[in-house]
């Protein structure tokens, strides 16, 4: 496997960063998870735009133009001969010292990993997920802007540990005042009265690329849509629920906190969106050839 590391393709076992890199010491950096489908990098430009917005928000200057970053992603995919892949693109503040001062970091570190990923087994897409509500609350939006996709995921990890201990795959994270924000690694949608509903991003949810794609897809299909503040009780009484994310794509939820949703089966609108989503991954992105 070849890894792109600050301008060079290197073997996996030689792709190393300094222990003084502030991405490692403090989670000081930004990242994107991206997918390629049959030599098409899905919504690559959207992902790159979000990466640069996140970097700008933390005053991290990425040392290459967006067009060059796109070329680097494609170059790494081709070097590994991958048609279908998960891409992890990371930019850290770079090597500094043991202090917090970002001025000590002279040059950001950029690396790109391209590999296979299967977040959930196939049966979960067929039968649906059982998830829980985490006790760990989502970070305050005034403390950490959810639009920033940073390397500091400890908040999400603590909630993920709760899910693991409960024997489930995911956990819903609530805001400080108990509104639904998102899951540990995915956005969340409900279907209620044939309308698609999801929390607004300013409640503490990442503005997901797949989230936006599903909203656009629903509108194209004539499915009503609304961003709305949701309580956990709204999820318990929903007709259908599903999660979205780059790695997860669209995965149904059939149980929350041991309460069955739609009789414990994926709903028809969810299944329709899952099927239609496959079609847009074939046309919306950057093509490359092996």
Stretches in the chain below the pLDDT threshold 50: none
Q: Which two tokens stand for residue 49?
A: 């735009």
Q: What is the DSSP string of 218-274?
A: HHHTT-EEEE----HHHHHT-SEEEEEETTTEEEEEEEETTEESGGGS--HHHHHHH
Residue 209 CA to residue 96 CA, distance in Å, equals 32
The CATH label, of 3.40.710.10, 3.20.10.10, 3.40.50.2300, 2.60.120.260, for the domain at 122-280 is: 3.20.10.10
Integer Cα distance of 218 and 9 in angstroms = 40
Residues with Cβ within 8 Å of residue 219, at least 6 apart in sequence: 225
pLDDT of residue 184: 97
Token pair recorded at residue 214: 């599903």
pTM of the model: 0.95
pLDDT score of 15: 97
Q: How far is C-alpha 9 from the geometric centre of its chain's CA atoms? A: 25
Quote the DSSP letter at residue 39: S
- 115-126 residues labelled b (16+ CB within 10 A) or e (exposed): eeeebeeeebbe
Q: Give buried/exposed letters for 206-224 (b at 16+ CB in 10 A, else e).
A: bebbbbebbbebbeeeebe
Rounded to an integer, what distance in angstroms lies between the CA atom of residue 212 and that of residue 189?
A: 12
Q: What is the DSSP string of 152-176?
A: --HHHHHHHHHHHHTT-S-EEEE-T
CA angle 132, 136, 138 (to 5 degrees): 105
Query: What are the extents of the domains in the chain?
Result: 2-115, 122-280
Return the CATH number of 2-115, one of 3.40.50.620, 3.30.470.10, 3.90.76.10, 1.10.260.40.
3.30.470.10
Angle at 118 between CA 115 and CA 33, to 5 degrees: 55
Question: Using one digit for the tens of pLDDT, what is the confidence trace for 74-130?
Answer: 999 999 999 999 999 999 999 999 999 999 999 999 999 999 887 788 999 999 999
Residue 117 has a pLDDT of: 80
Element (H, E) at 34: strand 29-36
Catalytic positions, please?
149
Beta pairing, strands 29-36 & 2-5: unpaired
Provide the pLDDT for residue 146. Answer: 87
């Amino acid at each position: 496997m070849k890894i792109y590391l600050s301008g060079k393709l290197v073997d996996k076992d030689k792709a190393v960063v300094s222990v003084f890199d502030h991405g490692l010491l403090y989670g000081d950096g930004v990242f994107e998870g991206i997918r390629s489908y049959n030599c098409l990098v899905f919504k690559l430009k959207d992902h790159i735009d979000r990466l640069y917005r996140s970097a700008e928000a933390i005053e991290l200057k990425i040392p290459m133009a967006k067009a060059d970053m796109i070329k680097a992603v494609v170059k790494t995919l081709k070097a590994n001969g991958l048609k279908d892949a998960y891409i992890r693109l990371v930019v850290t503040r770079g090597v500094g010292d043991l202090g917090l001062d970002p001025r000590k970091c002279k040059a950001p570190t950029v690396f790109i990993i391209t590999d296979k990923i299967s977040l959930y087994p196939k049966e979960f897409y067929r039968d649906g997920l059982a998830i829980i509500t985490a006790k760990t609350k989502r970070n305050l939006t005034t403390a950490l802007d959810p639009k920033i996709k940073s390397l500091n995921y400890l908040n999400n990890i603590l909630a993920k540990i709760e899910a693991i201990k409960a024997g489930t795959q995911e956990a819903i994270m609530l805001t400080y005042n108990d509104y639904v924000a998102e899951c540990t690694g995915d956005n969340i949608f409900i279907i209620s009265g044939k309308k698609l509903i999801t929390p607004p991003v300013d409640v503490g949810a990442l503005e997901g690329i797949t989230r936006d794609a599903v909203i656009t897809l629903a509108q194209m299909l004539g499915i009503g849509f609304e961003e709305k503040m949701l309580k956990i009780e709204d999820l318990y009484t929903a007709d259908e629920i599903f999660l979205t994310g780059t790695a997860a794509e669209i995965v149904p939820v059939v149980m929350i906190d041991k309460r069955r949703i739609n009789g414990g089966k994926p709903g028809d609108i969810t299944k329709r969106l899952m099927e239609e989503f496959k079609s847009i991954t074939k046309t919306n992105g950057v093509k490359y050839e092996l």
